[in-house]
Amino acid sequence: MKFFPTKNRQTIFWMAFFCLLFFLTGCIKMNVLEQVNTSGLSNVTVTMDLSGLSDMSEMPDGTNSIPIPDLDPDQLCDDILNPNPTPEMSMTISMPGVQELSNVDCQATEEGVVTITGTYQYPKEAITSQEDFLGTTYSFDPTLGSLIEFPKSDTPPLELGESFASVAALKAAGFEMTYQVELPGMITNAQNGIIQNNKAEFDMVALAISSQTPLVQSTNYNLTTIGLIAGSGIVALISIIFLVRRKRKSKEHYYNAPPNKESKKSTIAREASSSLHYDPRNGPPRSGQQRTPRRLKRFERKGETSPQKEYFNDPYAELYTERDASSFGTVLHDLKKESRHGKDHATNELDTLAQNITDQTTREQKKQKELEELKTKLGRLSGEGNEETGYSSRKHGRFRDRYKKEEIIENPKPAESSDSQAQLDKLKQMEFKELLGEKKEGTEDSELGEIEELEKIEKGETPSKKEETQKCPNCQKETDQILYCHECGTGFCSSCASSFKKQDSQTYYTCPTCQTKVKEQ
């Protein structure tokens, strides 16, 4: 009788099981181990322990027992590899599945332990693979086709029929058969089996009773890809932790530590305020004194007179020096006090304070330049100049440098207080009147007319003087008419004028100093 559950597929597992079906008379243990590679080639190791064979008075189905001869190791291997029944033995151990193995080897001991090794090639459909970025997953479905052959005898000891009832009887008699399989990679799933380390183990007797089949899955992980992914994740995590800690530390330092930075406008305002407390006429600063600001050192390197020195040489600067110094000192004192108590102004507030201080300093410098310009004009008109401000001599008048106006920095906020403007106008009037008063005292009658003409210039008029005997203040020649420039105040005659032009019954002379056109009166 032959039973083929699956055609054209045969395995050694069920063959080895059913070939012993007819002579098992005691507790027999059988283990099948397969090591399957990706190509489907399997290394098979079958181990049978026949040491428990003994005579039984009755078979599980009620029949008489069959005597079992003494076990001979050589005879056992010969019967398994080359089944050939003898007249003395009514049955033999028949394992047709062994014939499908390659490189078969059999070894047996006197205790009845038989070990059979060989290789078996599974078809391509038995093992499938699926790749992904983590590795390759293998699914193994062993061939379950089995072949059962009964020995030729008049009274077969056991008839199975179409069911597995006798399998349950053998299990009750103590028969055991286990199947172990190893696949490439780690076993991840063993249907109807148990995973033990890197093996999947199945109880073939229980599977035969329940008509189930084994199914094994394993995964061969790509360690390189997994290592790169894990390493990238670790590096990203460390970077995030580092950035968070750094941001937290900087935030704590911002709120706890005193401010150590200042804007450009704050630096200019601080240097301008500190310059009010330092007089360069006292020599180089000693230890503990304020040094010259860096932005003013360029005047000392070039040998020029710094605006700071001009500021302190001006006698009228004392009127507003004390006031500005007190205001600047108050602002700086408040800032230092708040800094000591852990307070700090907002950026916009600091910039506003610095801008106000800078604007005030710029206005004061502009006032100083206007006063210097006024003094220069008054000295030139009075004729009492020296090499710097006066042009009384002919030599200096001919070879002197042209008067150049100093560039005045436009104030971004030209609006000035009414008190400052009134004070400045008052100073100008006082200085002009004092100079004219000193000039009138001790002068002759012929020179009083010139002084009266100077008073007209202050009011913006262009005077003219027509006398028969008078000298030109520019060329020192006698002339009957002296013209005064309303722009620079230089007195000149028609002979020393740069040029003249007649237009509409009027004559226009060009000032030899500033090239301004002056109309003849």
In 204-318, the DSSP E strands lie at 215-221
Render each residue's pLDDT in the chain as its tens digit; 521 residues. 222 333 333 334 444 444 444 344 446 778 888 888 877 788 888 887 776 654 443 444 444 444 445 566 777 777 777 765 554 443 344 444 555 677 888 888 877 788 888 887 777 777 777 877 677 888 877 753 333 332 333 333 333 333 445 556 666 666 778 888 888 888 888 888 888 877 888 887 777 777 777 788 888 777 777 778 888 889 999 999 988 888 877 766 555 555 555 555 566 555 555 544 444 555 555 545 556 677 777 666 655 554 545 544 555 544 545 555 666 667 777 777 776 665 555 556 667 778 888 888 888 899 899 988 888 888 777 655 444 444 444 444 444 555 444 444 444 444 445 566 666 666 666 655 555 555 555 545 455 556 566 665 555 555 554 445 578 888 888 888 888 888 888 888 888 888 888 887 888 889 988 888 888 87
Question: What pLDDT sits at residue 410?
Answer: 47
Question: What pLDDT sits at residue 457?
Answer: 58
Burial 251-290 (b: 16+ CB within 10 A, else e): eeeeeeeeeeeeeebbebbbbbbbbbebebeeeeeeeeee
Question: What pLDDT sits at residue 11?
Answer: 39
Question: What pLDDT sits at residue 240?
Answer: 92
The answer to whether 498 and 484 have CB atoms below 8 angstroms apart is: no
Question: Would the CA dihedral through 219, 223, 227, 228 be positive or negative?
Answer: negative
Please tell me the distance from the alpha carbon of residue 22 to that of residue 137, in angstroms, as a whole number.
41
What six digits make up the tokens of 19?
A: 């070939």
Q: Which residues have a Cβ under 8 Å from the Cβ of 377 and sit 6 or more positions away? A: 488, 489
Burial class for 250, CB neighbours closer than 10 Å (0-12, 13-18, 19+):
exposed
Q: Which of 275, 280, 367 is nearest to 316 (CA)?
A: 367
Strand 29-36 and strand 41-49: pairing?
antiparallel
Please tell me the distance from the alpha carbon of residue 372 to that of residue 378, in angstroms, as a whole number.
10
CA 490 to chain centre: 70
Question: What pLDDT sits at residue 355?
Answer: 83
Burial 20-30 (b: 16+ CB within 10 A, else e): bbbbbbeebbb
CA 69 to chain centre: 85
Please tell me the distance from the alpha carbon of residue 175 to that of residue 156, in angstroms, as a whole number.
20
pTM score, two decimals? 0.36
Question: Please, what is the angle between helix 347-382 and helix 445-458, to 10°?
Answer: 150
Q: Which residues have a Cβ under 8 Å from the Cβ of 331 and sit 6 or more positions away? A: 273, 353, 357
Which helix (H) or strand (E) is 107 found in, with range?
strand 102-108
Question: What pLDDT sits at residue 506?
Answer: 85
Q: Which of 249, 251, 318 is nearest to 279 (CA)?
A: 318
Question: What pLDDT sits at residue 42?
Answer: 81
pLDDT digits (tens, 9 = 90+) for 111-138: 778 888 888 777 777 777 787 767 788 8
The answer to whether 220 and 130 have CB atoms below 8 angstroms apart is: no
